[in-house]
Amino acid sequence: MGSVGKIILQRLALGLLTLLVVSIVIFTAVNMLPGDFAEAILGQGATPEAVAAIRRDLGLDQNPVMRYFDWLGGVLRGDLGTSFAQLNFQANMGATSLQTVASQIAPRFSNTMFLAGVTAAIAVPVSLALGILAALYRNSAFDKGANIFTLSSISSPEFFLAYVLILFLAVLNPILPSLSNIYEGMGFAERLERTLLPALTLTLVVTAHMMRMTRAAIIQLLASPYIEMARLKGISPMRVIVRHALPNALAPIVNVIALNLAYLITGVVVVEVVFVYPGIGQLFVDAVKIRDIPMVQACCLIFATAYILLNLTADILSIVSNPRLRHPK
């Protein structure tokens, strides 16, 4: 296990380095966005003195390098900064009232994780079942139909799939609500009902990758000698796949599942906007509109961290589940 621990530590160190580089890219890109928050909040009639005063109060007049290290230091301490969105100017005092970024992100991130969890609970079993059946009946009408359906869904933009589902499941057949206006304190059943439509949209997007990887991994193993021996013993084809082929095909399957779960967290922006779902993706879009720099930076950093962590998880699970990677020659 010493070699496994060394490889895992190397992956973690590489992940931290990647996250540091990504943080520099995020800070640089966000601060290069056109427009100025001080001018946007004060309006076109703002005087240069008033704009300069607001920029000074918010620290926007400091050197970019110093601002980056101040922001990075705050992130390491768990302080994501203060949001510009709740900025209220007092007419006489000229003071500001700011709301922390973390206090706004926490409930939104919880909603996004709930959406991702519901999607994963639907997509992973469905993908595994379709992949197993497609491998069992490969080159059949079912196999071809499943491939056509999944490839069509993954080739379509998320907003298009969302509007199609809204048309059929909310307008023509009012089964599910078209808007996911969930709120704090809502019951689990009602929250689940209002989350199902965006969850089904994301399921259609991520199912194809997992289904096709499951199918390909199992078909590759079906030609193995031990599978042939199991067949010669008279074991049913389904049992051969489930009991013998599937456990040995878990490494690539787990890898692609982890990558698609990363997409569920980082790729929900369009779906959340379409369904007005109060998640971190909707918060990110709103922050970009009003040039809320600390909020945009925090959302981007959370997306990057989630994606890197789940990629690292996929790498580590591949190493642990593959003897050839645990004991490299």
Of 17-21, 92-96, 147-151, which range is least confident? 92-96
Q: Give the model confidence (pLDDT) of 31-52 as tens digits.
A: 777 666 666 666 666 667 766 7
Same domain, 79 and 167: no
pLDDT value at residue 92: 36
My answer on whether 176 and 291 are in the same domain is yes
Average pLDDT, the chain: 80
pTM (predicted TM-score): 0.81
What's the chain's length in residues?
Answer: 329
Q: Is residue 212 predicted with pLDDT exceeding 70?
A: yes
45, 77, 102: which is the final residue of a domain? 102
Do 40 and 112 lie in one domain? The reply is no
Domain end, chosen from 79, 102, 125, is at 102
- Residues 160 and 235 placed together within one structural domain of the fold: yes
pLDDT surpassing 80 at residue 238: no
Tens of pLDDT, residues 157-183: 888 888 989 999 888 888 888 888 888
Whether residue 97 is found in the same domain as residue 238: no
For residue 198, the model assigns a pLDDT of 92
- 153 and 289 both lie in a single domain: yes
Instruction: Let me know whether 120 and 200 are in one domain.
Output: yes
Q: Which residues contact 181 (CB under 8 A, 6 or more apart)?
A: 194, 276, 278
Give me the residues paired with residue 97 across strands.
Answer: 88
The token duo for 173 is 């057949």
- Alpha carbon 19 to chain centroid, angstroms: 16
CATH number at residue 135: 1.10.3720.10
Task: Judge whether residue 95 has pLDDT over 80.
Answer: no
Whole-number pLDDT of residue 321: 67
Domains contained in the chain, number: 2
Residue 316 pLDDT > 50, yes or no?
yes
> Does 143 share its domain with 87?
no
Q: What is the pLDDT of residue 85?
A: 65
Whole-number Å distance between alpha carbons of 84 and 41: 9
Answer yes or no: do 113 and 97 share one domain: no
CA atoms of 74 and 80, how far apart (whole Å): 6
Asked if residue 116 and residue 85 are part of one domain, the reply reads no
Q: Are residues 11 and 122 in the same domain?
A: no
Lowest mean pLDDT among 110-124, 191-205, 208-222, 245-259: 245-259
CA 217/CA 233 separation, integer angstroms:
23
pLDDT for residue 55 is more than 80:
no
Q: 91 pLDDT band (50/70/90 cuts)? A: very low
**pLDDT for the residue 25:** 92
At residue 229, does pLDDT exceed 70?
Answer: yes
> Which of the pair, 265 or 278, is modelled with greater confidence?
278
Distance from the first to the final alpha carbon of the chain: 15
- pLDDT tens digits, 266-306: 778 888 888 989 989 888 888 888 778 888 888 989 988 88
Segments forming the whole domain that contains residue 123: 107-326
Q: Quick one: pLDDT at residue 262?
A: 80
CA distance 100 to 104: 7
Residue where one domain finishes, among candidates 102, 129, 164: 102
In the predicted structure, residue 88 carries a pLDDT above the cut 50 = no
Query: Do 153 and 50 fall within a single domain?
Result: no
User: In the predicted model, is pLDDT for residue 94 greater than 70?
Assistant: no
SS3 letters across the chain? CHHHHHHHHHHHHHHHHHHHHHHHHHHHHHHCCCCCHHHHHHCCCCCHHHHHHHHHHHCCCCCHHHHHHHHHHHHHCCCCCEEEEEEEECCCCCCEEEEEHHHHHHHHHHHHHHHHHHHHHHHHHHHHHHHHHHHHCCCCHHHHHHHHHHHHHHHCCHHHHHHHHHHHHHHCCCCCCCCCCCCCCCCHHHHHHHHHHHHHHHHHHHHHHHHHHHHHHHHHHCCCHHHHHHHHCCCCHHHHHHHHHHHHCHHHHHHHHHHHHHHHHHCCHHHHHHCCCCCHHHHHHHHHHCCCHHHHHHHHHHHHHHHHHHHHHHHHHHHHHCHHHHCCC
Q: What b/e string do you get for 21-54 counting C-beta neighbours within 10 Å, with b at 16 or more?
A: ebbeebbeebeeeeeebbbebbeeebeeebbebb
Q: How far apart are CA 230 and CA 242, in angstroms?
A: 12
- C-beta separation of 251 from 240 below 8 A: no
Question: Which of 62, 81, 83 is CA-nearest to residue 72?
Answer: 81
| 325 vs 198, more confident | 198
Which residue has better confidence, 160 or 92?
Answer: 160
Quick: pLDDT tens for 13-30: 888 899 899 999 988 888
